[in-house]
Structure 1
Amino acid sequence: MLAAVKEIGRLRIEQRGLSHLEVLVEDPNSTGNYGKVIAIVLEEVNDDEWNFKGIELEDYDETKIMKYLYRSGAANGADLTPTAKLSGKPEGTFDRKILGWFNILDERGLQISQQDKVFLSQVRKQLDLNANYIKKEILRIRDETPNKIGILVTLKFRQNDQVRYVGDFPIFTTLLMYQVDKKNEKCAAKDKVCSICGAKKDLVIGNLDTYAFYTLDKIGYITGGFRENDAWKNFPVCRECKLALDEGKKYIEKHLTFRFCGIEYNLIPKFIVGAEMIPDEILDIFANTSKLVSLKQEVIDRITTDEDDILYYLKDIKDVIALNFLFLKKINAAERILLLIEDVFPSRLRRIFDAKYKTDEIFASKFTFGSIRSFFSKSDPNKRDYDLDGYFLDVVDRVFKDRPVSYHFLLQFIMKKVRHEFVNDGYFYQAVRDGLMTIYFLQKLGLIEMEEEVMEERVFDGLFKKYGPAFETPLKRGLFLLGALTELLLRKQYKERGAKPFMKNLKSLKMNESDFKGLLPKVQNKLEEYNAFDKGKRILAREAANYILLAQDKWQMPVDELNFYFAAGMNMVDEVAKIIYPDEKPEEIQIQE
C-alpha cells in the first residue's frame, strides 16, 4: 500500500515540478473546514525594529498556502512554523503553538545569522508583551465565529508598503527544514537499503510519520528489545521516498477520499505495469476525480451510498491497476486502520456491479451496500455511536476479495433489524426487502451457498425460481406462503377493525417449529370468521400446507431463518396475489395497492 502511495506522490512531484519545501508545507484547509485566518500583525517602525499592531480577521486564501507555511508538529507541542490551527482551547493555541514556537531560539548550537536571531527575538518579545490582549482577541473571534468554521492563526508583517507572511521570510523556511531534518536524523542509519524503493541510500529514516498508525513509542514496534538505536531496522525509508509518501498522502486525502456508506476511506490505486505504461484516460480518472463526480446531471449507478462514488468509473477499465481501500479512523493526532482491502482489480468491480444490476432487475429497486449497512450499524438503535462498523467492513472485505459470507451469521443481524421494525411498527417491509436483496446479491456473487432439493412442479414455481436458490427447499417455500397468507389476514383485519389483533400470535417474529405448525390452522379459522377464506386464499393455504408437510418433522433450521422466510412472504404478498387472483382482487388488496 505504501509503495502505491509513494508512486502517486512521485508522479505528482514530477508532473508539477514541486520543490522539497512545497511538499513539506501542508494545506491547513485540506478538509475545507478552515475558512478564516486570525493574523497577528507586526509592523516595522525602524530598520529591523518591529512592533505589535493588532489582530486582523481575514478569509482563508488557497493561493497563500506557501505564505502561511503551515506544517503540523507534535499534538502537545509547537508546530514547525508559527502558524497553527485553533484548537479547543484558543488561548492555549497561542501559548503552545505560536509563542511556544520561538523556544527554538533557546536551543544550543542553533546556527542562524545574528540578523535573523535579532529579528526573531524582537517578534518573540512583542508577542510576549501583548500575550494577554492577543489571547482575549483570539477568544472573542472564536466565540463570534460559528463552531463549524475552523480558524488558522498566523503572523502577518507590514514592512513599508508591503504585506508579508511567515512564508515570505527565508528564516522561517530555513528553520522548518532544520526541524524536519533534525527529526529524521534522530532515528536513522547510513548506507542502508530503503524498504520501499529497494535501493541502497546514503541515509535511511526509521521514524516515518506520514501515517500516524506507525509509532516507535510502543514495545511491539521496536526491533531488538526496545533499543531505539535499532528502530530504523523496522521500516527504513530514504528521504526521496519519504518526500513522495508525504505528497502522495496529501493528494489522496484531498482528491481520493470518499465515504463508503458513512465510513470514510482512501482509494489508493496501484499501477501494475508502472504509471508510464498506463493510458492517459485512466490517469485522468484519478487526476480529475472532483470534476468527474461533480457532473450531477449524469446519472450513474452507485454501489455505495456516496454521491461521489468513483467506483462506477473504474469498473470498465482493464486490469492494469489494482485498488487498495484504506478505511482509516482518526482519533485526535492518532490514526487507526479499521480495514485495508488490497489488490482489488477492476474486473472484480465489474462482477460486483453485474450482481448489483441483476439484483436491481429482480427487485425493481436500486441495490447498494447501504442495504447491508442497514443491518450492521448499531447493536442498539438507541446508541449514539455506530458500534457494528467492524462487522460491516468484514462483509465488504469478503465481497471485494471473493471470500464466503456466513449465511446464518448474516441472518442474525437481518432478523434483529426486521423484528425491531415489526414490533415498533417501523419500516418492516423495507427491512425485509433489504434482507432479501442482500441475500440475492451475495448469492449472485457465489458468496452464500443455499440448500437445494428437487421438487414437483406446483402453482408458485415461477415466483420461486425468480429469486434463485433462496427458495429451493420445501420448508422455505412453505414458510414463505404461510407468511403471505398471514399478511392477507392482517390486511383484512385492518380493513374491518382498523387494527391487527392477530399479530400477537406472531410472537414478535420469534416463532419456533411448533409455533409455525400451529399457525396455519389459526390463520385459516380466523379467515373463515371474517368470511374471507375465498378461492385464492384456499389455494395459498393448500400450497403452504403441502410444502410444510414435505418438510416432515424435526426442521433443521435456526429460529432466525424460520422467521425470515415467513417475514419474506409477508413482504412479498402482492406478488403472490398476482398469481392467486389473476382477475378481480379482494377489496383489502386493492386498498393496500
Structure 2
Amino acid sequence: MLNALYEIGKLWIEKEDLDKINVLLDASKLAKRTKSVLVVELKEDKGNLEYAGVVERDYDSDDNPKYLYRGGSSRGTDITPSCLITELDKTLPNKFFKWFSNHESEDDFFKQINACLIENQDIITKDIGEKFELVSEKVNVLLTIGFISIDGDLKFIGDYEAFRNVLISSATIKYYKKGSNKVKGDGVCFLCDEQKEVYGLVSNSIGFSFSTPDKPGNVPGLLVKDQWKQLPICGDCALYLEAGKKFVEKYLSFSEFGLTYYVIPNFLVNPRQGFDEIYKYLSREDEYLTYRADLVSREDKLAGIVDKLGNILEFKFLFYQSSNNAFDILAYVESVLPSWMREIYDNQLSISRLEFFNEENMKKVLGKDKEGDFVTISNLSNKFATVTNYNWYLSFLRDFFSSYSRTYYLGIVTDVMSEKKLDYGFLLTHFMNKIRENWRQGYGISVPVLKSFALILFFNNLDLLKGEKIMKINLEDSEELKSDSSIIDDFLDAPDKKAVFLLGDLTRKLTYKQYKELGSSPFINKLWGLSLDKNKIIKLYPMVFSKLREYDSAYPVLEENISANLMHAENNWKLSRDEISYYFVLGYTLAYAVNDKKEKDKENGEGE
C-alpha cells in the first residue's frame, strides 16, 4: 500500500508541480463543508500593528496556500494560527490566541502580533462572535489572520516565510519525534532504496500505523529510538506519501452506507500513462461525470474509472474509521482488478433491471401508489447515501447486518471484493432475523424480502455462494432468462422448495381475501412468527386450504401443485428451518408479482 501511495504522490506532484507547502496543507478537511473564512485584520502603521476589524470572505480552495491550514492536536493548537471554529469559547482561547502566545518567542513578528491581540482580545472576541452568528450552522468556518500593509494590500500568513517555516518544521517533525525520543538514523530508505537520513514514524504521522513505538516490545532492541529500522523512510519520500494520501483523500475517498474507505490505484504497467488517464478523469468537474444516466453520485466515479481503464492497474481498498486525530484501519483488501469491479457493477445493474424489481411489479408488491423501480423506491427512504444501480448491494447489506455486528457487514463486503465464497446459510439466517423482526413489530416484510432476494441473485451470479450455485443460469445469457417465471423455476429446483414457496403464495392469497372482507388478516397469527419447519408446513397447508373454502375461494392449479410437491418431498426434505421460512416468505411476498401462465384459477388475485 505504501508503495502505491508513494507512486501516486510522486506522479501527482510532478503533474501539478506542487511545492512542499501545498502537500503539507490539510486541504481535504476544508473542502468538506467550509464555506466561509473570518479574517482578523491587523493594520501595519509605522512599524506597529493595529487592530482593524474582522472581515468575512467566501472560502475558495485556491486560497489554501494563503491560509496555511493544517490541523494539530485536538487538545492544543493547530500547526498554524488558522483554525476551524467549533465552539467560540473554546476555539478562540485554546487555538487562535494561544497559538501566538506559544510561538511569540520564536520570531519578533509573532511577538508583535501577540501583543496586539492581547491588547484587543475583548473586542476581537466580540467581533468574531457577531460574524460567526450570521453563518449557517451547517457549514464550517475557518478563522485566520491577515495584515494590511501601508500600501493597503492585504496579506495572509502564507505570504510570510516565518509562518511557512513553522508549517514545514511542525509538520515534518512528526516523521521522527515521539515525546522526547527522536526516532531517526542513517540507513536505506524503504521506498527509494537510497542511503540517507531516514525516519521511523512517517507512516504513523500520515495515518497508517503499522507499528506501536509506545511499546518497547514492538521495536528492535526494545529501544523506541531504533523504531526507524523497521520502516525507514527519508524526508523526500515522506512528502510523496503525504501527497499520495492527499490525492486519495481528494479524489478517491468514499463514505456510503456506514463505510468510509479509500480506493488506492496500483499501476501494473506504465504508471505515468495510467496516472494521466485517472487524473484526466477525476480532475473533471463532478457535473461532467453525469455523462451516463447511471452515474448519478460521487461514489460512481469509481465505476467511471473502471469503464475507462482495463487491467493496467489494480485497486487496494482500505476501510477505516476516524475521530478527532485517531485513524483506525478496519480492513484492507489488496489486488482488486477493474475486471472484477466491472462484474460487481454489471451484475447489480442487470439484477436491478429484472422484471421482479420494475415499477409494474412494485405496484403489485408494495402498493399501487409506488412509483419507480425498486432501486428508486429504496433510495427515497435511505438516510445514509444515494442508492444507485452500482451500489445498492452495500445499502441492502447494511439493512441486514449493521444492527447485529458491523464486523459481519464489513466482512461480507471485503469478501466480495476479494472474491471469497459466502455461506448461504449464514446469509439466510440474518435475512430471516430481520424479516421476523419486522413481522413481530407489525411492519411490512415485502421490502426486506425483496432486498434479500436481490442480494441472493447478486451473490449467486458472481458465483460467491459456497457449494453449488443457487441458480444454474447466468442472468445475462439471454433476454428470455430475465423473466420472473424462468428465474423462479430455476431457483425452486427441488420439490420441498417449490412446495414451501407455493404455500407462501397461497397463504398470501388467503390473508388478502381476509383483509378484503374483514378489514384485517387474523390468519397471520397462525404462522408461528415465520419460524417454520417441515412439520409446520405440513400442518399449515390443510389449514390454509380449509380457511379459503370458508370464503368460497379456490386456486385448484396452485393447490394441486402444492400437494404434488409435498408428496414428492415427503421423504427427501433437505431444507433448514431458515431456508423453509425464507422460501415461504418469498412466495408470500411475490404472490401477485410472479406471473404463472399455468395458473388457470377461476379467481385472479390482486396486489396490495
| TM superposition score category, shorter chain reference | 0.7 to 0.9
Matched letter for residue 201 of structure 1: K
Which deviations, in whole Å up to 9, do the C-alpha atoms of 1:243-265 show, x marking residues without a partner? 11112222221222223435232
Q: 2:548: which partner in 1? A: 527
Q: 1:202 aligns with which of 197, 203, 219?
A: 197
- 1:285 paired with 2:286, answer no
- Identity, % of aligned positions: 27
CA apart distance, 1:138: 3.3
> How many Å separate the matches in 1 of 2:585 and 2:18?
60
CA apart distance, 1:145:
2.6
Alpha-carbon distance in structure 2 between the residues aligned to 1:369 and 1:41: 47
Give the equivalent residue in structure 2 for 1:16: 16
Cα displacement (A) at 1:146: 2.5
Structure 2 distance, partners of 1:134, 1:577, is: 73
Counterpart CA distance in 2 for 1:68 and 1:481 is 68
Distance in 1 (alpha carbons) for counterparts of 2:74 and 2:339 = 43
Q: Gapped runs of 5+ residues in structure 1?
A: 111-116, 380-384, 454-461
Code of the aligned partner of 1:230 = D
Structure 1 CA distance for aligned equivalents of residues 134 and 356 of structure 2: 51
Q: How many angstroms apart in 2 are the aligned matches of 1:300 and 1:59?
A: 33
Q: Does 1:545 align with 2:540?
A: no
- For the residue of structure 2 that corresponds to 1:574, the secondary structure is coil
Paired amino acid for 1:566: F
Deviation at 1:181, TM superposition (A): 4.4
Q: Could you list the per-position Cα deviations for residues 148-204 of structure 1 after superposition, in whole angstroms to 9, with x for gaps in the alignment?
A: 121111111111111111111222112222333444353343331222333333333
Partner of 1:401: 418
Structure 2 vs 1, CA of residues 265 and 520 (structure 1 numbering), >3 Å: closer, same or farther? same
After superposition, residues 417-456 of structure 1 pair within 5 angstroms as 417-449=434-466
Could you tell me how far apart the structure 1 residues matched to 2:217 and 2:311 are? Answer: 35
SS at match of 2:527: helix
The equivalent position to 2:292 in structure 1, one of 294, 298, 308, is 298
The question of whether the paired residues in 1 share the 8 Å contact of 2:198 and 2:228 is answered with no
C-alpha distance in structure 1 between counterparts of 2:136 and 2:92, whole Å = 20
Q: CA deviation at 1:309?
A: 0.9
Aligned to 2:25: 25
* CA-CA distance at 1:502 after TM superposition: 1.0
- Partner letter of residue 89 of structure 2? E
Deviation of 1:101 after TM superposition, in Å, equals: 2.2
Q: Equivalent residue for 1:98?
A: 96
- Paired residues, number: 560
Given that residues 400 and 434 in structure 2 are in contact (C-alpha distance below 8 angstroms), is that contact kept between their aligned partners in structure 1? no
2:409 is aligned, of 362, 382, 392, to 392
CA contact (8 A) 2:257 2:394 kept: no
Instruction: Classify 1:437/1:179 alpha carbon distance in 2 versus 1 (closer, same or farther; 3 Å).
Output: closer
Counterpart Cα distance in 1 of 2:246 and 2:489: 46
CA contact (8 A) 1:376 1:391 kept: no
Secondary structure, counterpart of 1:324 in structure 2: strand
Distance in 1 separating the partners of 2:38 and 2:278: 41
Shift of 1:368: 5.3
Instruction: Determine the C-alpha separation between the residues in 2 that align with 1:344 and 1:14.
Output: 26
Give the Cα separation in 1 of the matches to 2:394 and 2:36: 40
Q: What are the ranges of 5 or more consecutive residues in structure 2 without an aligned counterpart?
A: 358-374, 376-388, 471-482
Residue of structure 1 equivalent to 2:34? 34
Check whether the contact 1:195–1:235 (CA below 8 A) recurs between aligned residues: yes
CA change 1:507–1:220 in 2 (3 A) is: farther
The CA distance in 2 between the partners of 1:372 and 1:253, in whole Å, is 21
Residue matched to 2:523: 502
Report the CA distance shift for 1:70/1:226 in structure 2 as closer, same or farther (over 3 A): farther
3-state SS in 1 of match to 2:269: coil
Taking a change above 3 Å as real, the CA distance of residues 104 and 193 of structure 1, as seen in their structure-2 partners, is farther
Matched, 1:374 2:396: yes
Deviation, 1:561, is 1.5
Q: Is the 8 A contact 1:261 1:370 kept in 2?
A: no
Using the TM superposition, name which of 235-244 and 221-230 deviates more. 221-230
Residues 1:289 and 1:35: Cα distance change in structure 2 (over 3 Å): closer
1:344-383 correspondence runs (5 A): 344-365=336-357, 369-371=391-393, 373-377=395-399
Where does residue 459 of structure 1 map in the other structure?
Answer: none
Alpha-carbon separation, structure 2, partners of 1:171 and 1:279: 35
Residues 419 and 464 in structure 2, CA contact (< 8 A), matched pair in contact too = yes
Which residue of structure 1 lines up, in the alignment, with residue 215 of structure 2? 219
- For residue 21 of structure 1, report the CA deviation from its aligned partner: 2.0
Partner of 1:235: 231
Quote the Cα distance in structure 1 between the aligned partners of 2:398 and 2:129. 42
Task: Give 1:288 deviation, angstroms.
Answer: 3.1
Which of 129, 135, 142 matches 1:145?
135
Residue identity opposite 2:407 in structure 1: G
Q: Answer with 164-173 or 132-141: which moved more.
A: 132-141
* Residues 289/63 of structure 1: CA separation in 2 closer, same or farther (3 Å cut): closer
Aligned to 1:570, which of 568, 585, 588? 588
2:186 match: 191
Change over 3 Å in CA distance of 1:488–1:153 after alignment to 2: same
Greater alpha carbon shift after TM alignment, 307-316 vs 426-435: 307-316
Deviates more, 1:311-320 or 1:478-487: 311-320
8 Å contact from structure 1 (residues 478, 544) kept in 2: yes
Contact 2:213 2:224 in 1 (8 A): no
Residues 327-338 of structure 1 aligned to structure 2 (within 5 Å): 327-338=319-330
1:325-356 deviation line (CA, Å, top 9, x unaligned) = 22221111111123222211011123223433
Give the aligned partner of residue 592 of structure 1. 607
Decide whether the 8 Å contact of 1:377 with 1:387 is kept in 2.
no
Q: SS of 2:264's equivalent?
A: strand
- Can you list the C-alpha shifts for 1:465-505, whole angstroms capped at 9, x where unaligned? 52476422221111001111111111221222222111111
Structure 1 residue aligned with 2:370: none
Aligned counterpart, 2:147: 157
Query: TM-score, length-normalised on structure 2?
Result: 0.84
Give the one of 257, 261, 264 matched to 1:268: 264
Letter in structure 2 aligned against 1:574: Y
Distance 1:515 1:11, change over 3 A: same
Aligned to 1:114: none
SS in 1 for 2:71: coil
Hey, what does 1:5 align to over in structure 2? 5
- Equivalence for 2:575: 557
What does residue 63 of structure 2 align with? 64
Partner amino acid, structure 2, of 1:84: C
Q: Aligned partners of 1:168, 1:282: CA distance in 2, in Å?
A: 33
Give SS of 1:315's match: helix
- For 1:479, which of 497, 500, 523 is the aligned residue? 500
The worse-fitting range, judged by mean Cα deviation, of 246-255 and 416-425 is 416-425
Decide which of 155, 165, 175 is 2:166's aligned counterpart.
Answer: 175
Cα deviation, 1:65-122, whole Å, max 9, x if unaligned, reads 11111122222222222211113x3232222322322345476xx5xxxxxx332211
- How far is 1:134 from its partner? 2.7
Change (3 A) 1:177 1:311: closer
Offset from partner CA, 1:370-410 (integer Å, 9 cap, x none): 3553353477xxxxx96643322211211121111111111
TM-score after normalising by structure 1 = 0.86
Alpha-carbon distance in structure 1 between the residues aligned to 2:492 and 2:562? 13
- For residues 47-67 of structure 1, give each alpha carbon's deviation from its aligned partner in whole angstroms, at most 9, with x where no partner exists: x21122332333223332111
1:574 Cα offset (Å)? 2.7
How far apart are residue 532 of structure 1 and its match? Answer: 0.7
Check 1:220–1:324 CA distance in 2 against 1; reply closer, same or farther (3 A cut): farther
Alpha-carbon offset, residue 42 of structure 1: 1.2
Q: In structure 2, do the counterparts of structure 1 residues 216 and 578 end up closer, same or farther at CA, with 3 Å as the change threshold?
A: closer
* Aligned partner of residue 30 in structure 2, secondary structure: coil
- In structure 2, C-alpha distance between the alignment counterparts of 1:436 and 1:25, rounded to whole Å: 47
Name whichever of 279-288 and 53-62 sits farther off: 279-288
**1:512 maps to which residue?**
533
Please, which moves more after superposition, 50-59 or 340-349?
A: 50-59
Per-residue deviation, 1:283: 4.5
Match of 1:113 in 2: none
Deviation at 1:442, TM superposition (A): 0.9
* Partner SS for 2:532: coil
Distance 1:216 1:52, change over 3 A: farther
